Amino acid sequence: MPYLLVFVLSIFTLTGCQSAYYSAMEQVGYHKRDIMVDRVEEAKESQQDAQQEFTSALKAISALTQFDGGELESVYNQINDQYLDSEKAAEEVRERIAAIEDVSEALFDEWQGELNLYTSRKLRRSSEQKLRETKASYKTMLSAMKRAEDKMTPVLNTLRDNTLYLKHNLNANAIGALQGEFINLEQDIQYAIKQMNAAIAESDKFLQKLSQK
């Protein structure tokens, strides 16, 4: 993104005034549709990052269940770091989704309002049809993102439980107790990743639909 756009973004991110931000961006030729595209792409990236963090956390827990001597505190520190990274990645996914919802409302309201400006009935009908199709595609994408977001919660809950338990039980008995949690965690992570992949696929479809505007 050019420096001017970054500057404008930083100003209105601080002020928190999205409508003013969109107006300012349009003044430099960066429209709501462009912002929507960027935010969907960023959401895809954040979901991919979350997948990597969840997978890394799973590997750390797996290594713990196979622990065969050494310094347990260092193992705890590694697992705690992975949990914190996973939590941060999940929060970024939530923020990206919220940002998409914000710009989508502005974009669709603008598009709907512009329909009244047409003098050609044919062009108006065509634009109206594309708006309906884009909204439908958006709704499908957002639902997929929300499902993926929901599936992150049990993963984070299990990671947090394991981290807290290990923090106060740095001994061999703790490892045995966490072994039973590993299978459930593995299943939750695999399911969350599956949902995120589905959301990413729907994002690609939406971006394709948006490009046809």
Decide: 193 and 54 in contact? Cβ < 8 Å: yes
Output the six-digit token pair for 133: 């199709």
Query: What share of the chain has pLDDT > 70, as a percent?
Result: 90
* pLDDT tens, position by position, 78-90: 889 999 999 999 9
pLDDT at 120: 96
**Position 107, amino acid:** L
pLDDT at 153 over 90: yes
Per-residue model confidence as pLDDT tens digits over 90-133? 999 999 999 999 999 999 999 999 999 999 999 999 999 999 99
Contact 167, 76 (CB under 8 A): yes
Whether the CB-CB separation of 135 and 143 falls below 8 Å is answered with no
Mean pLDDT of 148-169: 90
Q: Which of 9-18, 26-35, 91-100 has the lowest mean pLDDT?
A: 9-18
What does the alpha-carbon distance between residue 45 and residue 212 come to, in Å, rounded to a whole number? 23
Question: Does residue 51 carry a pLDDT above 80?
Answer: yes
pLDDT surpassing 90 at residue 34: yes
Roughly how many angstroms between the first and final C-alpha of the chain, as a whole number?
22
With a cut of 60, say whether residue 158 has pLDDT above it.
yes
The predicted model gives 58-72 an average pLDDT of 77
- Rounded to whole angstroms, how far apart are CA atoms 117 and 110? 11
Residue predicted with more confidence, 205 or 180: 205
Is the predicted pLDDT of residue 149 greater than 80, yes or no?
Answer: yes
Average pLDDT over residues 53-69: 83
C-beta of residue 24 within 8 angstroms of C-beta of residue 184: no
Question: Could you tell me which of 156, 153, 173, 181 has the C-alpha nearest to residue 61?
Answer: 181
Q: Sort 193 into a burial class: Cβ within 10 Å, 0-12 / 13-18 / 19+.
A: buried
Q: Report the share of the chain in percent with pLDDT over 90.
A: 59
Mean pLDDT of the chain: 87
